[in-house]
Copies of this chain bind each other. A is one copy, B any other.
């Protein structure tokens, strides 16, 4: 198995609401939109995708009960090349309907970061670090 993620699927309460956030709010072009049951976005120049699907359907696809609560253990990072961009991206996410879970702040290790959540509570960490400019994974 290669170190590769073809896609990330998020179980959401309301596919249309989540679609509006990522598409209209953050400006991500829609790749597929299947009758409110599946909406996807191309990620990282086509090497991966982000998919939105009803929460219960995601659980059912894996044969699991849909019950779940609290912290989910996972976060996504969105690394940028300046502190100003951290502020700008968090502001954009808020305008799009996201929630600022942690305002941007200096970190003890020298970086600068904050968190927002999408309408379903998935966490995005927007961060800058002195080394970010050299990281191929930096978003911008």
A-side residues, CB < 8 A to B, are 1-12, 22, 26-29, 41-51, 55, 58-59, 61-79, 89, 92-93, 101-102, 115, 120, 122-123, 125, 135-140
Minimal beta-carbon separation of A132 from chain B (angstroms) = 9
Closest 5 CB pairs of A and B: A68-B70, A11-B73, A7-B77, A68-B71, A4-B139
Count of identical protomers in the assembly: 2
Instruction: Return the chain B residue nearest A42 by Cβ.
Output: B3
A contacts with B: majority SS = mixed
Minimal beta-carbon separation of A117 from chain B (angstroms) = 9
Whether B69 and A70, one on each chain, are in contact in the complex, defined by CB atoms closer than 8 angstroms, is: yes
Instruction: Return the chain B residue nearest A138 by Cβ.
Output: B6
Whether A50 and B3, one on each chain, are in contact in the complex, defined by CB atoms closer than 8 angstroms, is: yes
Minimal beta-carbon separation of A79 from chain B (angstroms) = 4
Q: Which of A5, A70, A89 has the most CB of B within 10 A?
A: A5
